[in-house]
Structure 1
Amino acid sequence: MKKLLYLIMMFVLFCHYGFAQRGFVVENKRQSSKVNFKLVNNLIIVPVEINGVELSFLLDTGVSKPIIFNFLNISDTLNLKNSETIYLRGLGEGESVKAIKSKNNIIKIGDALKLNQDIYEIFDSNLNFAPRLGFPVHGIIGFDVFRDLVVEINYSSKYIRLTNPEKYRYKKCRKCEVFNLEFYNNKPYINAQVSVKQKIIPVKLLIDSGGSDSLWLFEDDSLGIVIEHPYFEDFLGYGLGGSVHGKRSTIDALILQSFVLKNSNVAYPDDSSISTAKNVKERNGTLAGNILKRFNVIVDYQKGIVTFKKNSFFKEKFSYNKSGIELAHNGVRLVREKDTKLDAKSYSAQSDNELNNNTSIVLDVRYKLTLKPAYAIVELRENSPAFNAGLMIGDIVLSINGKDASQYTLQQIIHQFYEATGKQIRLEVERNGMILKFDFTLQSPITKKT
């Protein structure tokens, strides 16, 4: 009897251990789960449940550890258990970032479930994507999902499909291109080609769905990856290591086997910002969201391949922000707007002492005060149209071309700064309590040499 009890206990412990240690598994009969996402600024934002709490995460092939931005004060809600302090290093000019490693968390994406997930909490307030994107983003997840599942990313229809690898079946696709993946530090790389100054150069690129740019290249004289005019200096983004600066330009083409993307945008980050990235042998740059979104992609880490099929975004022209303005949410402001649910009513009140004076109090309830997001200028490129017009960092945008800014989402306003060269932009802004008006014309920051 004791022996039988011992065997039962060992069986239970073995099953529990095996189940607890597995990775992501889709828990339904189809062994496949479709999850809709938001595509914002070329980034994939997916709903993720952590310990039963639904959050929004950036799906990032370029990150090897799940990260939560703890400045949003969600640790207590998630019941995270802190175990040790570590330091994470990434792109940027600063030092490593302090993080708290939390163990034994449960993560769910659609019907895909993982137990005993390690999560890293970061307290750096600069790693807050919410103001720039227009809604909360609580963290980043990548490698753990891609390692365990076949991930289809349908950029055109804005969904991902997660499938257990043993269940996934590839369909014949004559219009697809398949690339072999190489892995360094749990991150995927592919081999491609770029045409620079009419010279075809083979390059190894990190696939980074967590970057909103098109293409980053690391300057290398020996390979011919050298930037020349026209280009402009710009803030490229913010990584774990701090700010990333560099130069922006265009190249003749990016070549992904039979797919050729002409006049692609390209950024050349400063060496000081990419010292960690250059540690990867033979890496020449990054393939990011503004390229990836032009394809529907199947990522299969277990087979070591990625499949590209061009979609409706493929022919979308590459463009830069022609205003020089970068906006972000900056609190709220009171907006007077019409209440469509109510009719105009007038109320008269008279007292015995005022009957002969015909005094009346008129209350117009057609309007109400509503809190709306405030959009502030947080980056302003020097010598840009907006800069030369006199706009300044910190200005709150009240209206654009005569329409109240509160009627737009953040992304809708930013989209107007990418429109055709020559378009007139009229902005009304608040600066230190004063209302100011500015006019400027959109101009491409890439100008040909004269």
Structure 2
Amino acid sequence: MFNRCLTAVLFILFCGLTFSQSRFTLPRSERTKVKFQLIDNLIIMPVEINGVTLSFILDSGVSKPILFNIIDSVDSLKLKNLESIYLRGLGDGDYVVALKSEKNRFRIGEALNINQDVYIITDESINFTPRLGVQVHGIIGYDIFRDFIVEINYGSKFLRLHTPETYQYKPCKKCETLDLTLVNSKPFIDAHVVMNDKKIPVKLLMDSGGSDALWLFEDNSLGLVPKNNAYFVDFLGKGLSGSVYGKRSKLDQFSINDFHFKNLNVAYPDSAAVSFARKFKERSGSMAGELLKRFNIIMDYGNAQVTFKKNKYFNTPFTYDKSGIILEQSGSRIIKESKNNTPLKTDRTSGGIMVIEAYKYELKPAFNIVELRPESPAETAGLKVGDIILTVNGRQTHPLKLQEVISFFRGDEGKLIKLVIDRNGVIMTFRFKLKSLL
């Protein structure tokens, strides 16, 4: 699942929970449309909770809605009926303490649930906003897919939630429809990979909450291992239970029926970080955002099927970070900017106009290096964790979005990168070339 992977590796297991809340309905129509942002291959959409609009990741791998990063909204949310509970997610850490709240009013577009459970994580260190560069307050998944036929239009960046009883499929010769296997409220599909000239069937979680293309669980007996032992160890993402590391490699081919991808990125997560995810013995890994975004998708849990259709992203190249830098948008820095020259005073002796340069000071995002891959081009050049990137190849970073800055590091091998950074108040310049490890 966050390729610089992301950020939000969000597979969550709930133990010993019972669910009694009502369902989402569409009181006044048969469908509703919800626009979303596509950030690092993740769907970020508005969800209204008890009258407060927040930003959620749509994650098909999560069982129940989870809230975090809500310290500024906690009073207005009016959460009630709180009780402590333990959650477990991907990562190298332990269980996370959360609060369960019942009888909340959720609205997504025109879809409404007046009795929704939600789980609140109060640990401020669990926050995916810095890794995405946009505000994210929570994740939601199964409750939406359970109650609607969900049309995900990655190409035009919108969802349509359809009432199952009235939805009618349109004929589509260019579509592929597959069976869904639902296990613990999560959707799995059957696909194939080709490795070392061997075609291997795989069962994969459809994981819209991960930003990588494909994760595979290493299995020597099946041949699910990095091609020709060619890989590098990297940060793969951050889950509720900590960071996830693993091997990055390339895959000869991945196929969903007649849709084929060649020479794509694949990651093999460390087995300890995904030990809970592997309790479903038939599971081989995950198909995540970098692959999913290449289709427009219709998810139909009621009929246990999913439909894929190519979109404009289908043939876009698979890229990954070639610098060794993991970047976060964390905190702010003060930027001095020149205003337009303004005539402030008339010079009566010369008949001219005196122009005084005026400045304004604004708070802008700070882009911090939070991890460096050992022996990577960036580390070898002398960059350090904690450095704040001010410019990339002559471009100021403060007007850019986080993902725009990161895109510089996914360029072609050999591309020269020049960084100006702030290290504890000292301005320094570094140069290095991007290096492909695959």
Q: TM-score higher than 0.5 here?
A: yes
Q: Residues 369 and 386 of structure 2 are in contact (CA less than 8 Å); yes or no, is this contact kept in structure 1? A: yes
The two structures, once aligned, show a CA RMSD in angstroms of: 1.7
User: What is the CA deviation profile of residues 106-145 of structure 1, one whole-angstrom value per residue up to 9, with x for unaligned ones?
Assistant: 1001111111100000123332111111111000000000
Corresponding position of 2:217: 218
In 2, the alpha carbon distance for the partners of 1:209 and 1:126 equals 23
Q: Residues 320 and 445 of structure 1 are in contact (CA less than 8 Å); yes or no, is this contact kept in structure 2? A: no
Corresponding position of 1:4: none
Corresponding position of 2:166: 167
Larger Rg: 1
Give the residue type in structure 2 aligned to 1:69.
Answer: F
Using the size of structure 2 for normalisation, the TM-score is 0.91
Alignment of 1:61-140 (within 5 A): 61-70=60-69, 72-140=71-139
Corresponding position of 1:229: 229
1:400 counterpart = 2:425: no
Corresponding position of 1:287: 287
Alignment of 1:19-418 (within 5 A): 22-29=22-29, 31-70=30-69, 72-227=71-226, 228-340=228-340, 343-346=342-345, 364-418=356-410
Give the residue type in structure 1 aligned to 2:356.
Answer: D
Q: Structure 1's 166 and 438: CA in aligned 2 closer, same or farther, altered over 3 A?
A: same
Instruction: Give the C-alpha shift of residue 239 in structure 1.
Output: 1.3
In 2, the alpha carbon distance for the partners of 1:120 and 1:180 equals 31
Q: Structure 1's 377 and 82: CA in aligned 2 closer, same or farther, altered over 3 A?
A: farther
Q: Which runs of 5+ in 2 are unaligned?
A: 1-19, 348-353
In 2, the alpha carbon distance for the partners of 1:221 and 1:157 equals 40
Q: Residues 69 and 122 of structure 1 are in contact (CA less than 8 Å); yes or no, is this contact kept in structure 2? A: yes
Q: Which runs of 5+ in 1 are unaligned?
A: 1-19, 349-361
Instruction: Give the C-alpha shift of residue 166 in structure 1.
Output: 0.8
User: What is the CA deviation profile of residues 386-435 of structure 1, one whole-angstrom value per residue up to 9, with x for unaligned ones?
Assistant: 11111111001111111211121111111111122222111100001100
SS at match of 2:290: helix
In 2, the alpha carbon distance for the partners of 1:195 and 1:130 equals 36
Give the residue type in structure 2 aligned to 1:293.
Answer: K
**Structure with the larger RCO, 1 or 2 (CA within 8 Å, 6+ apart):** 2
User: What is the CA deviation profile of residues 50-78 of structure 1, one whole-angstrom value per residue up to 9, with x for unaligned ones?
Assistant: 00101100000000010000553422220
In 2, the alpha carbon distance for the partners of 1:27 and 1:321 equals 46
User: What is the CA deviation profile of residues 9-30 of structure 1, one whole-angstrom value per residue up to 9, with x for unaligned ones?
Assistant: xxxxxxxxxxx9541112333x
Q: Structure 1's 347 and 386: CA in aligned 2 closer, same or farther, altered over 3 A?
A: farther
In 2, the alpha carbon distance for the partners of 1:330 and 1:224 equals 41
Give the residue type in structure 2 aligned to 1:230.
Answer: A
User: What is the CA deviation profile of residues 147-176 of structure 1, one whole-angstrom value per residue up to 9, with x for unaligned ones?
Assistant: 000110000100011111112111001111
Q: Residues 151 and 300 of structure 1 are in contact (CA less than 8 Å); yes or no, is this contact kept in structure 2? A: yes
Compare 71-80 and 88-97 and name the one that shifted more: 71-80
Q: Residues 71 and 124 of structure 1 are in contact (CA less than 8 Å); yes or no, is this contact kept in structure 2? A: no
Instruction: Give 4+ residue runs of structure 1 displaced > 4 Å after superposition.
Output: none
1:427 counterpart = 2:425: no
Instruction: Give the C-alpha shift of residue 367 in structure 1.
Output: 2.3
How many residue pairs match? The answer is 413
Instruction: Give the C-alpha shift of residue 82 in structure 1.
Output: 3.8
In 1, the alpha carbon distance for the partners of 2:307 and 2:404 equals 31
SS at match of 1:44: strand
Q: Structure 1's 79 and 196: CA in aligned 2 closer, same or farther, altered over 3 A?
A: same
SS at match of 1:407: coil
Instruction: Give the C-alpha shift of residue 205 in structure 1.
Output: 0.3
SS at match of 1:417: helix
Identity of aligned pairs, percent?
A: 53
In 1, the alpha carbon distance for the partners of 2:343 and 2:418 equals 33
User: What is the CA deviation profile of residues 325-362 of structure 1, one whole-angstrom value per residue up to 9, with x for unaligned ones?
Assistant: 1211121111111223x5243589xxxxxxxxxxxxx9
Give the residue type in structure 2 aligned to 1:141.
Answer: I
